[in-house]
Amino acid sequence: MFTGPATVEMDDVAEPEPAEDEVLVHVRSAGICGSELHGVRTPGFRIPPLVMGHEFAGVTDDGTSVTVNPILSCGTCDLCRGGLRQVCRDRRIIGVHLPGGFAERVAVPRSALHKLPDDMSWEAAAVIEPAANAVHAWRLADVAPGARVGVIGAGAIGLVCVLAAAGEETASIAVADRSPERRRIAAKLGATTVAGELTGEFDVVFDAVGSSDTHEQSVRLLRPGGVAIWLGLAGAEAGFDATVLVRTEKRVLGSFAYTNAEFERAVDLVGGWGLGWTASYPLESGAEIFTDLMRGGSHPVKAILRP
């Protein structure tokens, strides 16, 4: 549980009681997201006390293996009707506004369930939600075949961006990260070049960090007319000269979550991806693992809690 600023603890809570339109999910795997580490360090979007966890999968009472799309939208507004339910003004997110998957059991709306393939591992199932973010970001980039792709940050979101790009007709995929180990993983997953910092010129740059420095890099390294896709949430400052966008027609697009179709696409993709960069831990170790990552620990890239 997120119990206060920079604090997560193990606790016992009341059993969830599903409403008429909800289903009880017995959690089998739940990934720790970088946005949760940031959110606990600087509370605001998430308000304690809260059982977090929005990247999770499990089994229903009837034995069906499912993953959960944590984005809950109103379904009736102009944005939802236009296929933009992920930015619905009244959206709620399981694990952010409602109890999430860092628990043995959680009640979720029946409409949020997606059946899993019979042969999918629980570790892969926990990566579906971040993978859907990468599918959405790639669609937003809308680049032509042969694109030169840059990725800043080889955390989980950066790596799934590499995997998404590697499945397309790209000319090159360059990845920057301070960690030699994460650069090694990125190269293994399909990056053509890895370094501590991006150099060169790119058609699209995915910023999976989100600091003012990486914002500036993502724009500076674009070709005229190129597009920077921002997924990271490390800082609020833009960090660049906005007149550059006018003079070179560069574009900056925020990328938040995914559509239903993109979530389904992620279900299809992750079974074929290499996921050796994930590591599983018992739920009982969750507070310790979470706190270490929050304080700057870099291993594992993706921690998955297993009740």
What digits encode the pLDDT tens for the residues 264-286?
999 999 999 989 999 999 999 99
Least-confidence region, from 78-82, 161-165, 194-198, 235-239: 235-239
* C-alpha to C-alpha distance for 286 and 265, rounded to whole angstroms: 29
What pLDDT score does 1 carry? 96
CB atoms within 10 A of CB 26: 14
What pLDDT is recorded for position 235?
80
Amino acid at 213: D
CA pair distance 42, 45, nearest whole angstrom: 9
Q: 168 with 161: CB under 8 angstroms? A: no
Q: What is the pTM of this model?
A: 0.95
pLDDT value of position 202? 98
Whether residue 241 is predicted with pLDDT greater than 90 in this model: the reply is no
d(CA 279, CA 285): 12
Over residues 235-260, the mean pLDDT reads: 92
Task: State yes or no: pLDDT of 132 exceeds 90.
Answer: yes
pLDDT the model gives residue 299:
83
What is the per-residue pLDDT across 145-171, written as a single tens digit (0 to 9) for each? 999 999 999 999 999 999 999 999 999
Q: What is the pLDDT of residues 32-90, one digit of tens each?
A: 999 999 899 887 889 999 999 999 999 999 999 999 999 999 999 999 999 999 999 99
pLDDT surpasses 80 at 298: no
pLDDT on residue 44: 81
Query: Following DSSP, what letter does each residue of the chain receive, concatenated?
Result: -EEETTEE-----PPP---TTEEEEEEEEEEPPHHHHHHHHS-SSS-SSB----EEEEEETT--EEEE--EE--SSSHHHHTT-GGG-TT-EEBTTTB--SSSSEEEEEGGGEEEPPTT--HHHHHTHHHHHHHHHHHHHH-PPTTEEEEEE--SHHHHHHHHHHHTS-EEEEEEE-S-HHHHHHHHHHT-SEEESS--S-EEEEEESS--HHHHHHHHHTEEEEEEEEE---S-S---S-THHHHHH--EEEE--S--HHHHHHHHHHHTTS--TTEEEEEGGGHHHHHHHHHTT----SEEEEE-
Return d(Cα 188, Cα 196) in angstroms, integer. 16
